[in-house]
């Protein structure tokens, strides 16, 4: 074993954790592996030491000790977009917190051949399970046709009772955003939607339409976008010259930013003349001018949920009650206000 150099601090080993906790190495391993029949007080002491020292188990060492790879495959499509990127980051952190390493593959195409090839490559590398982040309809359809050789969890395309899914209730989140505008007094609201082959975009549009319908408000056909600020800006320049509406719900924050930019160029004050709501609560949203009202998703929870569901499958355990899909949180900032008098 290589000794640390001058001034370097040796990383703690499982033997060190056992010594500090006053237990055997085998007991620490049992705690890490989630084995049952460990005294609660003993488990609490081990976890306390682990937390105090911010210790993470070495995946390679654990693999040798258990004859398991302790590796999870992460298959990602559209990684450049905020949602998939944030979800992938959260899953990587959640896996490491559970002592697993992540192998990542990015899909160039969302077809049967590409998905099957990626899954086969993961299996050849000995992964114990796979998490898929692929929100497009064609990816979902391909996943229905391919054969899984290892446990698999999807972050999209939720369905009642499906224990292989981790997701937020996008439809309910969109209803929150739309209801906020209605409660401010807006009755003429437009929707800038995302690509309709994305599950989130479809759910958010349906939530918007459902909320308008529940309040007996007129519906103007949603505008289909592509998630980018450039598209939001281009759409804004077209629809904001003589708007017959007082508010816009954009399906993500980047398109909302483009709308705010277009409104500023056209001399339309936000929120005094036009209210705008986004979705996702990207880190920059609070720094928009004005700061953006939006809908927040807790990607940390999403990553932890996906890994917990996958590990339950790997261990052959009951995943518990049917999956629940939490409602995202409305974050009210300065881009929304009551409509102008007479509008």
Say if residues 81 and 49 touch (Cβ distance below 8 Å).
no
**Are 208 and 251 members of one domain?**
yes
Local confidence band at 171 (pLDDT 50, 70, 90 cut-offs): very high
Span 166-177, average pLDDT: 93
User: Does any domain span residue 196?
Assistant: yes
**Are 108 and 194 members of one domain?**
no
Per-residue pLDDT at 43 exceeds 90: no
* Integer CA distances (angstroms), 330 to 28, 177, 274, in order: 41, 7, 19
**Are 217 and 293 members of one domain?**
yes
Torsion of CA 323, 151, 304, 136, to 10 degrees: -70
**Are 187 and 293 members of one domain?**
yes
**Are 286 and 213 members of one domain?**
yes
Local confidence band at 323 (pLDDT 50, 70, 90 cut-offs): low
Per-residue pLDDT at 75 exceeds 70: yes
**Are 292 and 307 members of one domain?**
no
Of residues 125 and 247, the one with the higher pLDDT is 247
Q: Residue 285 phi/psi, 5° resolution? A: -60, -35
> Among 67-76, 209-218, 279-288, which is the least confidently predicted range?
67-76
User: Does any domain span residue 120?
Assistant: yes
Structure confidence at residue 54 (pLDDT) = 79
What domain range is 266 assigned to?
Answer: 170-297
DSSP class per residue in 11-60: PP-HHHHHHHHTS-HHHHHHHHTT-SS--HHHHHHHHHHHHHTT----HH
Structure confidence at residue 77 (pLDDT) = 87
Calculate the average pLDDT of the chain.
87
User: Does any domain span residue 27?
Assistant: yes
Span 107-130, average pLDDT: 88
**Are 291 and 178 members of one domain?**
yes
How far apart are alpha carbons 250 and 259 in whole angstroms?
9
Say what percent of the chain tops pLDDT 70. Answer: 87
Per-residue pLDDT at 1 exceeds 50: no
Tens of pLDDT, residues 233-249: 999 999 999 999 999 99
Task: Classify 89 as helix, strand or coil.
Answer: helix
Structure confidence at residue 162 (pLDDT) = 57
Tens of pLDDT, residues 137-160: 888 788 878 877 889 998 865 554
Of residues 16 and 218, the one with the higher pLDDT is 218
User: Does any domain span residue 340?
Assistant: no
Structure confidence at residue 10 (pLDDT) = 58
CATH code for the domain of 34: 1.10.260.40
Count up the domains in the chain and report the number: 3
Per-residue pLDDT at 9 exceeds 60: no
**Are 215 and 267 members of one domain?**
yes
Task: Classify 71 as helix, strand or coil.
Answer: strand
Alpha helices in the chain (DSSP H): 14-21, 25-32, 40-52, 59-66, 82-97, 112-124, 137-145, 170-183, 199-214, 229-239, 253-265, 299-314
Span 306-320, average pLDDT: 80
CATH code for the domain of 231: 3.40.50.2300
Please name which of 81, 130, 124, 126 lies closest in space to residue 104, comparing C-alpha atoms. Answer: 130
User: Does any domain span residue 320?
Assistant: no
**Are 249 and 164 members of one domain?**
no
Around 228, how many Cα atoms within 13 Å sit in the side-chain half-sphere?
6
Task: Locate 130 and state its tokens.
Answer: 């796979």
**Are 176 and 289 members of one domain?**
yes
Per-residue pLDDT at 274 exceeds 60: yes
DSSP class per residue in 176-195: HHHHHHHHTT---EEEEE--
User: Does any domain span residue 264?
Assistant: yes
Of residues 11 and 261, the one with the higher pLDDT is 261
Structure confidence at residue 2 (pLDDT) = 42
Residue 330 is classified by DSSP as: E
CB count, 10 Å around CB of 230? Answer: 14
**Are 159 and 305 members of one domain?**
yes
User: Does any domain span residue 87?
Assistant: yes
**Are 217 and 122 members of one domain?**
no
Per-residue pLDDT at 33 exceeds 70: no
């Amino acid at each position: 074993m290589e000794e640390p150099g001058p001034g370097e601090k040796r990383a703690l080993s499982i033997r060190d954790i056992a010594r500090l906790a006053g237990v055997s190495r085998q007991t620490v391993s049992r705690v890490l592996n989630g084995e049952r029949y460990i005294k609660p007080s003993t488990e609490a002491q081990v976890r306390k030491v682990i937390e105090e020292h911010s210790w993470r188990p070495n995946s390679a060492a654990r693999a040798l000790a258990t004859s398991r790879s302790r590796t999870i495959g992460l298959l990602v499509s559209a990684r450049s977009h905020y949602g998939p990127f944030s979800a992938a980051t959260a899953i990587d952190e959640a896996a490491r917190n559970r002592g697993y390493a992540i192998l990542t593959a990015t899909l160039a195409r969302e077809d049967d051949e590409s998905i099957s090839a990626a899954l086969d490559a993961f299996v050849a590398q000995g992964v114990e399970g796979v998490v898929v982040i692929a929100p497009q309809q064609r990816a979902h359809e391909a996943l229905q046709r391919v054969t899984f050789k290892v446990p698999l969890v999807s972050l999209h395309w939720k369905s009642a009772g499906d224990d292989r899914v981790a997701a937020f209730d996008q439809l309910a989140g969109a209803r929150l955003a739309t209801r906020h505008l209605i409660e401010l007094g807006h009755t003429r609201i437009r929707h800038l939607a995302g690509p309709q082959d994305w599950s989130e975009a479809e759910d958010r549009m349906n939530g918007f339409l459902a909320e308008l319908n529940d309040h007996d408000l007129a519906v103007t056909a949603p505008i289909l976008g592509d998630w980018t600020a450039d598209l939001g800006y281009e759409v804004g320049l077209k629809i904001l010259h003589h708007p017959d509406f007082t508010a816009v719900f954009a399906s993500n924050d980047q398109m909302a930013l483009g709308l705010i930019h277009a409104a500023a160029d056209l001399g339309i004050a936000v929120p005094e003349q036009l209210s705008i709501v986004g979705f996702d609560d990207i880190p920059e949203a609070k720094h928009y001018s004005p700061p953006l009202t939006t809908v927040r998703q807790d990607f940390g929870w999403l990553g932890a949920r996906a890994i917990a569901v996958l590990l339950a499958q790997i261990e052959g355990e009951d995943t518990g009650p049917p999956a629940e899909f939490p409602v995202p949180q409305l974050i009210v900032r300065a881009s929304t206000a009551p409509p102008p008098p007479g509008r």
